[in-house]
Amino acid sequence: MFFLGKVRSFAVVAGVCLYGMGPQMLAAQVSYDHATPAQLAGIAKDNSRHFGDDPDDAGPIATDLSGSLDPAAVGKAMRRVGDWQMARSEQYFDRIWTWSVLYGGFMAASDSLGDPNYRDAMEAMGKKFDWQLRSHLPDADDQSVAQTYLELYLVKKDPAMIAPTRAELDALLAAPHVSKRAGKTISWWWCDALFMAPPVWSRMYGATGDRKYLAYLDEEWAKTSDLLYDKQEHLYARDADYLTKTEANGKKMFWGRGNGWVMGGIARTLDYLPKDDPARAKYVMQLREMAARVASLQGPDGLWRAGLLDQGNYSEPEISGSALFTYALAWGINEGVLERKTYRPIVAKAWAGMLKHVYADGRLGCIQQTGAEPAPFKASASYTYGVGAFLMAGSEIRRMEGGLAGAKKVHKHS
């Protein structure tokens, strides 16, 4: 990663936003203006795969959206962003994780807004792929699309919707519980996996009542937590390669979106985990620990940067991680896991901050491209998974504020 030298004075560089850190503020070091050739190539690859794009001119920011938590105002912002994304992306729907997260957002929005259109598009997507996963003996990423298959099954009760997924999960249960990737000894060896796979396994339990899926979930999550969760910082390293990596200020490198994946994954897993699951209390405790730590790192603009412990070193807020944090915090309030008095102001500030990155046409900007660590991106950068997280966050906020159609969907833990 390319870094400028540290400058201990307030400065504004053309095209670079600075993050206020008090009298010892650092000049922004990680910005698109200083992206490496490898980083630019990664962005170009994501754009070529239709995950999103980052135009030089994305038009004006929306001025007709309210940052309040009023359910109608939240719903208006969700529709603006969701409709823009659907119109741009439906023809490119795929089963890779970048799309799976968007699908989860569309499902949540459909339930929250009482609008079947998004769900109907998800059912058409499932039929397009004949309800198949992306690969045989899939890793966490390739399991992720099954979250939507299973949610549709729980509404429609059509066994064809989950039969291929169940066959693959059963095959994974029978196979050695290790990664197919060389050098990785556990199945969920990277923290992102905790958003992609565990909610599939808890939903399969919800669909079948078979606790073998919970046993696998609890066993594999414990391995990942033992490896990557920092019990002092209450944050996750992205994977074992990052256990010793540091930011420019010398603090440990904890990726914003990576930790958002974990918190969002806990919420989506607990949705379908029975109250008597032996590991449930551990998931709840970890969510509480992470929520407190993340809340302490919220920026003045209500958002979080890609690098959590050196936020002054990043030129832009990062929306996908911020949306995942907002989703998990609002979910925790709704489920009685987090104290409303403490966390509602955090959620309110985050939602208002995110709306400042919604463009007039519905584009949601400041979303980092795919990767494994903090990296630079344009303010206009918009990618599918960030939109999915935003829709999930909005849905939970509407439920938190008593939105008419905000009641939680079919589920759940019992």
Rounded to an integer, what distance in angstroms lies between the CA atom of residue 100 and that of residue 295? 27
Strand partners, 230: 235
Sequence-ordered strand ranges (E) for 138-256: 229-230, 235-236
Go through 208-238 and write b for each residue having 16 or more CB atoms within 10 A of its CB, e for each that does not.
Answer: eeeeebbbbbbebbebbbebbbeeebbbbbb
15 φ/ψ sector (left φ>0, alpha ψ -120 to 50, else beta) = left
Would you say 303 and 325 are in contact if contact means Cβ atoms under 8 Å apart?
no
Neighbours of 12 (CB within 10 A): 10
192 has catalytic annotation? yes
Would you say 375 and 369 are in contact if contact means Cβ atoms under 8 Å apart?
yes
Rounded to an integer, what distance in angstroms lies between the CA atom of residue 185 and that of residue 43? 30
Per annotation, catalytic residue among 139, 192, 218, 239: 192
Select from 403, 358, 337, 389 the least CA-distant residue to 108: 389
- The residue assigned the tokens 């985050």 is 350
Please enumerate in sequence order all residues whose Cβ is within 8 A of that of 57, keeping only pairs 6 or more positions apart, or say none. 380
CA dist 193 → 221, 254, 274, 401 (Å): 9, 16, 21, 30
- Which residues are identified as catalytic? 192
